[in-house]
Structure 1
Amino acid sequence: MCSSCVMLFNEKNGSILPEYTDLPTLQKGEILVKNKYTTLCGSDLHTFTGRRKEPSPIVLGHEIVGEILELAQNEPFYDLNGNILKAGDLITWTIFAATESDEFVKDKMPQKSASLFKYGHVQFTEKEKFNGGLGTHCVLKRGTGILKVPLSVDEKFAPIINCAGATAMAAHRLIDEIENKNVLILGAGVLGLIASAIAKQKKAATVTILDIDDTRLENSKSFGADNVYNSLNPIEELTAITSKFYKKGFDIVIDMSGSVEAIKTGLKFSATGAQHIWIGAVTPTENIEINPEVMIRKLLSIKGMHNYNYEDFINAVNFFEDHFTDYPFGTFIEKEFPLQETEKAFQYAIKHKPYRVLITI
């Protein structure tokens, strides 16, 4: 493999080909990282298949772990915990960089900053080359949240923390109270399983996971699910679960699927006072009818969360540092490919639908 190159995705013909290019000179506040591992997120697959539009050509990949090679001179660098960063540190980082003075940053919504820079989402240009995970290197901008990878976490799994892990933690931040509550999670993918494990650690009374894949549903029991329901089956199976609850419905419903039908089911099986957290619908979808009287009389609330903030990222890394061995998180990596076989990795992910494919760089 080359000493410095990227795998460039071109939307026009759907190709992913190597682009050999020299490393840039670091500007003030920048850090040069040697990428080590990148996992293919669902949004990467959506871009590759045309379901999601990003500027092209582009270096995809935002779930990344790498080693610091160089830091811009004349200033110290710190991670989000206040620890000094140095060459040789194994790190992961937020999928975004934002300017500290931005009002969204001050309101703890840096992912919506007007100055937002998103790794793996920026067009490849002469000035912006190494800005994604599917390359040998990445240049980190000022305003990126950086954390060292804990020794207790398998570094091949660690890229997942800075997207799915932190997003699941953001969903839980929106919940007022989860202890002793009955939780429904829509979707048994990586996001749903992480959210389930977090719910169990936060002492939810029960966790139920809904999906259409029996294999994933069975596997979800290893991540804390007390009940599972295949939504292709008769709805009476879900009714049988909620009939055991005092409120005859779910107190908390977290959507990680993006499925309109799943979201409708979650609304239908709401307990009085239920909180709904919507995460999964990040591509264009149809509208959902919601009856205001039902919302009012059942005291329901709905909150949306896109990505996460710095606090969520810190909490996610802490969670996996403490609980990585409590659940089979390492099984998320189902197949590995070298960087030069990136296109083959995408084709495999689309055909076989694994939890995650790992690119080793």
Structure 2
Amino acid sequence: MCNSCVMLFNEKNGSILPEYTTLPELQKGEILVKNKYTTLCGSDLHTFTGRRKEPSPIVLGHEIVGEIIEMSFDEPFCDLNGSILKTGDLITWTIFAATDTDEFVTDKMPQKSASLFKYGHVQFTENEKFNGGLGTHCVLKKGTGILKVPASIDEKFAPIINCAGATVMAAHRLIDQIENKNVLILGAGVLGLIAAAVAKEKKASSVTVLDIDDRRLEKSKSFGADYIYNSLNPIEELTSITSKFYKKGFDAIIDMSGSIEAIKIGLQFSAIGAQHIWIGAVTPTENIEINPEVMIRRLLSIKGMHNYNYEDFIKAVNFFENHFTDYPFDTFIEKEFALQDTEEAFQYAIKHKPYRVLITI
């Protein structure tokens, strides 16, 4: 499209237009990447539609794969696995950069660092231009977790790893035990389907997926779902599933939907000792009533997870390296667009609700 430019989203009028600009001089610890592919995450769509507010103007896109073209001061750089990075390497990276001296980083919550820098979430300014996926380049800050993309993973799918994939691994990290347990996944989008596949590989006794879209529910069977339930149908259908279990409920409930009604169903069908992991509700939503006596007597727990840490990111890349061909992950990319057609890509995603659209740069 151009030698160096970004597709700039302006919240005031909802436009996404090219901004042609020169590349910056790298600072110590920075890496210049030529973006190759970016997928539009649900949070990008929320910003575009005004459901979520980000500083404007902004270069959106944080699910990115790119090629290293320059490293500052010829410093030795290593990825999170300790492999030396060099120009020409195909990489993906964490949605965030954080200072390693920050207490949140020490406590393995770098995504909440006081010094946090988030790709695709930073206002476009004279000093911050190339910091998102919807541009020709991205400047990676010191404190970014970088990993090489394994050859076994389709590079067009790989952008999904550094958001959805790593977030799923964070959710599973919070579950004490999943082997031989009955798992309920709320939501059959990208996150939910990956979560189902991970649960299956972790030897869950059963995986049930809940959604309101029959097409997506049917697809979840190819990602390890043993049972499916459309929550628009009578609740007795879900009861017939849990009646097969010794505890008559689900041991682990992972919400990827953000739907209050789905979360309520998860609480209703908890087994004694169940763990609830809430991921999906990342935009303002209503409160939910929880009875303390029920929580206590049924030994229930609820944990929330937003984004992920460096270890989750490593586990996500490892998982897809080992299992990419075991499940139809490549079907997540339902439509491709060129960078100059970014606005069309957003409109398509909003209208057709694909798992992901891909921007090729």
Task: Compute the TM-score of the two structures, normalised by the length of structure 2.
Answer: 1.00
User: What RMSD, in angstroms, separates the aligned Cα atoms of the two structures?
Assistant: 0.3
Distance 1:303 1:48 in 2: 29
Whole-angstrom distance in 2 between the partners of 1:187 and 1:169: 16
Aligned residue for 1:271?
271
Map residues 130-169 of structure 1 onto 2, 5 A cutoff.
Answer: 130-169=130-169
Determine the structure 2 residue equivalent to 1:62. Answer: 62
Letter in 2 for 1:123: Q
TM-fit CA distance, 1:185: 0.3
Report the Cα distance in structure 2 between the residues aligned to 1:72 and 1:168, rounded to whole angstroms: 33
Question: Equivalent residues in 2 for 1:149-228 (5 A)?
Answer: 149-228=149-228
Q: How does 1:1-361 map to 2 (within 5 A)?
A: 1-361=1-361
Cα distance in 1 for residues equivalent to 2:131 and 2:8: 11
- Structure 1 segments of 4+ aligned residues over 2 angstroms from their partners: none
CA deviations on 1:90-144 (whole Å, 9 max, x unpaired) are: 0000000000000000000000000000000000000000000000000000000
Q: CA offset at residue 74 of structure 1?
A: 4.2
Question: Secondary structure of the equivalent of 1:200?
Answer: helix
Match of 1:180, SS state, is coil
1:233-275 superposed Cα distances (whole Å, 9 cap, x missing partner): 0000000000000000000000000000000000000000000
Q: SS of the residue aligned with 1:169?
A: helix
Unpaired runs of 5+ in structure 2? none
Distance 2:75 2:348 in 1: 43
The residue type equivalent to 1:167 in the other structure is T
* Residue identity in the other structure for 1:318: N
Separation (CA, whole Å) in 2 of partners of 1:209 and 1:197 = 11
Find the aligned partners of 2:101 and 2:268 in 1 and give their Cα distance: 42
Q: Distance in 1 between matches of 2:265 and 2:10?
A: 38
SS in 2 for 1:318: helix
Secondary structure (helix, strand or coil) at the match of 1:326 reads coil
Unaligned residue ranges in structure 1 (runs of 5+): none
User: Aligned residues, how many?
Assistant: 361
Instruction: Give the counterpart letter for 1:18 in structure 2.
Output: P
Identity of aligned residues (%): 88
The residue type paired with residue 171 of structure 1 is: A
How far off is 1:341 after superposition?
Answer: 0.1
Distance 1:53 1:28 in 2: 31
**d(CA) in 2 for partners of 1:212 and 1:177?**
28
Deviation readout 1:134-165 (Å, 9 max, x if unpaired): 00000000000000000000000000000000
CA distance in structure 2 between the partners assigned to 1:200 and 1:232 by the alignment: 25
- Counterpart CA distance in 2 for 1:64 and 1:28 is 22
